[in-house]
Chains A and B, each alone.
Chain A
Amino acid sequence: MSQNVSNMLYLVTIICFILALRFLSSPTTARHGTWVGAAGMAVAIGVTLAHSHLHIGWRIPVGAAIGAAFGAVGARRVKMTAMPQMVALFNGVGGGAAALVSLAEFHNLVPAAGRLHGDVALAIVLSGLIGSVSFAGSMVAFSKLQGLISGRPITYPGQQFVNLVLLAAVIAAGVAIVAGTERQWLLVALLLGSLVFGVLFVLPIGGADMPVVISLLNAFTGLAAAATGFELDSNVLIVSGALVGASGTLLTMLMSRAMNRSIGNVLFGAFGKVQAGAGAIAVEGTVRSVTAQDVGIMLAYAQKVIIVPGYGMAVAQAQHAVAELADVLEKKGIEVDYAIHPVAGRMPGHMNVLLAEANIPYESLREMDEINPQFAQTDVALVIGANDVVNPAARNEPGSPIYGMPILNVDQAKQVVVMKRSMATGFAGIDNPLFVEPQTSLLFGDAKESVLKLVSSVKSL
């Protein structure tokens, strides 16, 4: 196949990818987007395999088969609650692939002196560095979310300093390579240093901040892919990498804004550790505990109910029971909506996926800005396994570590029912004044069992 024909076909792939993202602007067309994207990918792979100089051998088909089998089995088996770590894993392997391509390309180009242009060397250094950081960081994020290592921030004295020195050393190695020191050990050292940096960079970040980290690493892998495109003079890699880089960056900014923190604070703040001594607000007052029967009556005589799901609901696998409860209530003519906080779940938009899995129609899933004005006209706000995102201290207590974070204003509802396993604090370790408000009652117990009790109690009325 001539170079011109293959470049035209790569353009088809580029158009497919852009259309795939366009289709994602609506849930009705989103699924077509995946197919268009996959078709574009198939074209690109086919064109690449048809390159006249390519020596296919056994490694390419065998490698592709192993990778595809691993990817397909992982993607088929993963539970929707475990989606964040799966995305982190696939993100990491992409970054790793980019780093390895840079190593192979460097090794291949270096022996012939003078063949390595400065810009190609720069692209190799960048894709190696960013790809390795993304690979190692994603693996740590995966391990944290999977529970292989503690989700708590892991910190030690002088951590920032160590990270800074390591990053400076890696960058120095990169500068040396770009300046013309074409030594392979230098690139290997750069890759190893970047891997260690990736690990150390994510270790101090807590599990609750993972949405930000995963989207940032997603952007990193995109940029690494774009840099690979500069190495190989491949437009399709440059465009795709840039699209992913833009997407990841945008989501990262969106997530940090939803937590009212700067990206720097999320990445380097070691949340919780720093705030521990800063005077957590002591909440005084008594909580009112109610039975499922009481709540059932409350719900059955309401006109408008808003359900506020949190990650606790997903952990208890209560989403199907919640869907059943909503169904029972809607059959009684009660209006039921879901209030979805932007950081509900463990990655951007995670809660929507979990509720969609329980067959809840997406029209009922309301974003924070849309639903907040409606709480004042709501009879019952049912908070299931959410804590920090409904904490009014974020609005009222300037001393609170989450002060300024946009929250769901459930405290404005006429009655609030908070379903909790026990009287423990949320992920950020902050007491919640909502629990002692006069209109709030608490229903203790496992989320799934409690919701099922509510279903039977509403049905019996």
Chain B
Amino acid sequence: MSHFAQVVVELTILALSIFLGIEVISKVPTLLHTPLMSGTNAIHGIVIVGAILVAGLAHADTLTSWVGFVAVILGAANVVGGFVVTDRMLEMFKARKPRPPDDEGAE
């Protein structure tokens, strides 16, 4: 595939993903907006893939590999922190506990 064709494919993917993102995100209730934010936060931790690729370049000079090293640290913190914090929050969201029958008038 020519370089230009590749760019066009990538732009197509970008455009479709943005519309998909808007569709999916608009179905998330306000109740869950904080977990949504920290969840998407974890998802953009995918830059760790880029960080690994540059940190592990076979012919990298010192600068590239050190910059890549720091990028891997930041990316890993983003991924792990993002998912752990999101899970911690979502763990707390609980449905109403079934009450004893004589108490049911509350709702």
Which residues of A does B touch, CB under 8 Å? 13, 17-18, 20-22, 24-28, 30-31, 33-35, 37-38, 41, 44-45, 48-49, 51, 53-57, 59-60, 62-68, 70-72, 74-76, 78, 80, 83, 86-87, 89-91, 93-94, 96-98, 100-101, 103-105, 107-108, 117, 119, 214-215, 218, 221-222, 224-226, 228-248, 250-251, 330-331, 333-336, 340, 342, 345, 347-350, 352-353, 356-357, 359, 361-365, 367
| Seed contacts A41-B43, A244-B43; 11 additional CB < 8 Å A-B pairs | A54-B56, A59-B69, A66-B76, A67-B72, A94-B45, A96-B74, A243-B21, A248-B40, A330-B106, A340-B30, A356-B92
Measured between beta carbons, the chain B residues less than 8 angstroms from A62 are: 69
Inter-subunit contact A347/B37 (CB<8 Å): yes
Inter-subunit contact A59/B55 (CB<8 Å): yes
Measured between beta carbons, the chain A residues less than 8 angstroms from B66 are: 59
In whole Å, how far is A262's beta carbon from the nearest beta carbon of chain B?
Answer: 20
Alpha-carbon separation in the docked complex, A238 to B11 (Å): 9
- A348 contact from B24, B33, B52, Cβ within 8 A: B33
Alpha-carbon separation in the docked complex, A34 to B84 (Å): 9
Q: Which residue of A lies closest to B49 (CB)?
A: A48
- A237 contact from B35, B50, B92, Cβ within 8 A: B50
Inter-subunit contact B50/A231 (CB<8 Å): yes
Alpha-carbon separation in the docked complex, A237 to B24 (Å): 18
Alpha-carbon separation in the docked complex, A233 to B35 (Å): 30
Alpha-carbon separation in the docked complex, A117 to B71 (Å): 24
Q: Which residue of A lies closest to B42 (CB)?
A: A37
In whole Å, how far is B99's beta carbon from the nearest beta carbon of chain A?
Answer: 8
Inter-subunit contact B89/A353 (CB<8 Å): yes
* Given A34-B86, A37-B83, also A67-B32 (CB < 8 A): no
Q: Which residue of A lies closest to B15 (CB)?
A: A242
| Interface of B (DSSP majority class) | helix
Alpha-carbon separation in the docked complex, A419 to B19 (Å): 44
Measured between beta carbons, the chain B residues less than 8 angstroms from A226 are: 14
Q: Which residue of A lies closest to B52 (CB)?
A: A48
Alpha-carbon separation in the docked complex, A340 to B31 (Å): 9
* Given A22-B24, A342-B30, also A60-B55 (CB < 8 A): yes
Alpha-carbon separation in the docked complex, A155 to B79 (Å): 35
Measured between beta carbons, the chain A residues less than 8 angstroms from B20 are: 18, 242-243, 246
* Given A67-B74, A94-B75, also A117-B31 (CB < 8 A): no
Chain B interface residue number, banded: 35 or more
Measured between beta carbons, the chain A residues less than 8 angstroms from B18 are: 242, 245-246
Inter-subunit contact B81/A86 (CB<8 Å): yes
- A352 contact from B27, B31, B71, Cβ within 8 A: B31
In whole Å, how far is A255's beta carbon from the nearest beta carbon of chain B?
Answer: 9
Q: Does B101 count as interface, using CB distance less than 8 angstroms? A: no
Inter-subunit contact B21/A87 (CB<8 Å): no
Inter-subunit contact B89/A59 (CB<8 Å): no
In whole Å, how far is A81's beta carbon from the nearest beta carbon of chain B?
Answer: 12
Inter-subunit contact A59/B72 (CB<8 Å): yes
Inter-subunit contact B82/A349 (CB<8 Å): no
Measured between beta carbons, the chain A residues less than 8 angstroms from B52 are: 45, 48-49, 54, 60
* Given A30-B35, A340-B30, also A218-B72 (CB < 8 A): no
Inter-subunit contact B68/A59 (CB<8 Å): yes
* Given A25-B29, A93-B77, A240-B46, also A218-B84 (CB < 8 A): no
Measured between beta carbons, the chain B residues less than 8 angstroms from A236 are: 46, 49
Measured between beta carbons, the chain A residues less than 8 angstroms from B103 are: 330-331
- A71 contact from B25, B31, B81, Cβ within 8 A: B81
Measured between beta carbons, the chain A residues less than 8 angstroms from B76 are: 63-68, 71
* Given A34-B90, A63-B69, also A86-B85 (CB < 8 A): yes
In whole Å, how far is A402's beta carbon from the nearest beta carbon of chain B?
Answer: 20
The 7 nearest A-B residue pairs measured at CB: A67-B76, A246-B21, A349-B33, A71-B81, A63-B72, A242-B17, A71-B80
Alpha-carbon separation in the docked complex, A17 to B66 (Å): 30
A-B contact pairs, 12 of them (CB 8 A): A17-B43, A31-B87, A31-B93, A93-B81, A100-B74, A104-B67, A104-B71, A218-B40, A236-B46, A246-B25, A348-B34, A353-B89
Measured between beta carbons, the chain A residues less than 8 angstroms from B7 are: 119, 230
